[in-house]
Structure 1
Amino acid sequence: MKLPRAIFDAIVRQARDAFPDECCGLLGGRGEEVSECLPVRNAERSPTRFRMEAQDQFRALQALDRAGLEITGIYHSHPRSRCWPSSRDLDGAFAPGTNTPLYPGAVYVIVALDGQGPSEVRGFRLRERQVFEEPLEVVDGHRGSQA
């Protein structure tokens, strides 16, 4: 996944601002190219879980649709936790009782924070409840935007 520096910085800033709670949002673009970052409020307001606030999520999905973009990624933070999808993350990523991802093809980006700032940022793909690391390439020279 190619992540413009401006979008990478916006995700990290949102994670820092939400600390000690988790933050979340959607990434939009085409293929491996990310061009939009759409922050979504965490309805849980929790340091150990996230659930996208329904109205925010709906608005973000509408914005992507209007722009003709697809969901390229889902991001959230792990305050004081390792940079790997938790069992809760996996449960929330699949349709209940199935091995079907809610957002097929999306990269799941996790920002791990240690209290001072990001300690690690990694991407993952999910297939049949298995986790595969996906390289993230932060690219300069791409404007990117934050909705």
Structure 2
Amino acid sequence: MVIHLTLEDYLALVRHARTVAPIEDCGLLGGIVEDGAKVVKKVFYLTNTDHSEEHFSLDPKEQFAAVKELRAQGWQLLGNW
């Protein structure tokens, strides 16, 4: 399935990953499915509580807040990294 992400969001995601490197970056993508494609409406940057270069665990409070916000907007959880 195709994921549509704005150039602005893509560049922000890359910048964020570079700032937390070498720790693995993580977050959630919220948005809608339209015409068979995932359309990202918001990128949620979350804390990697493992502070690891090899794996991540999402901060549960941040994850809950992100999911609560995307549901309030009528969006779906489209993916994570």
- TM-score, with normalisation over the residues of structure 1? 0.50
Q: How many residues align?
A: 75
Matched position secondary structure for 1:29: strand
Greater fraction strand: 1
Bigger radius of gyration = 1
Corresponding letter in the other structure for 1:22: E
- What CA RMSD, in Å, does the superposition of the two structures yield over aligned residues? 0.8
| Residues 101-135 of structure 1: per-residue CA shift (max 9 Å, x gap) | xxxxxxxxxxxxxxxxxxxxxxxxxxxxxxxxxxx
Query: After the TM superposition, which parts of structure 1 deviate over 2 Å for at least 4 consecutive aligned residues?
Result: none
Unaligned runs of 5+ in 1: 76-147
Matched position secondary structure for 2:29: strand
Separation in structure 1 between the aligned mates of residue 11 and residue 66 of structure 2, nearest angstrom: 19
Give me the identity figure in percent.
Answer: 32
Corresponding letter in the other structure for 1:33: V
Separation in structure 1 between the aligned mates of residue 59 and residue 73 of structure 2, nearest angstrom: 21
- TM-score, with normalisation over the residues of structure 2? 0.88
Greater fraction helix: 2
- Specify the alignment match of 2:75 in structure 1: 69
Separation in structure 1 between the aligned mates of residue 53 and residue 29 of structure 2, nearest angstrom: 21
Unaligned runs of 5+ in 2: none
Separation in structure 2 between the aligned mates of residue 61 and residue 41 of structure 1, nearest angstrom: 15
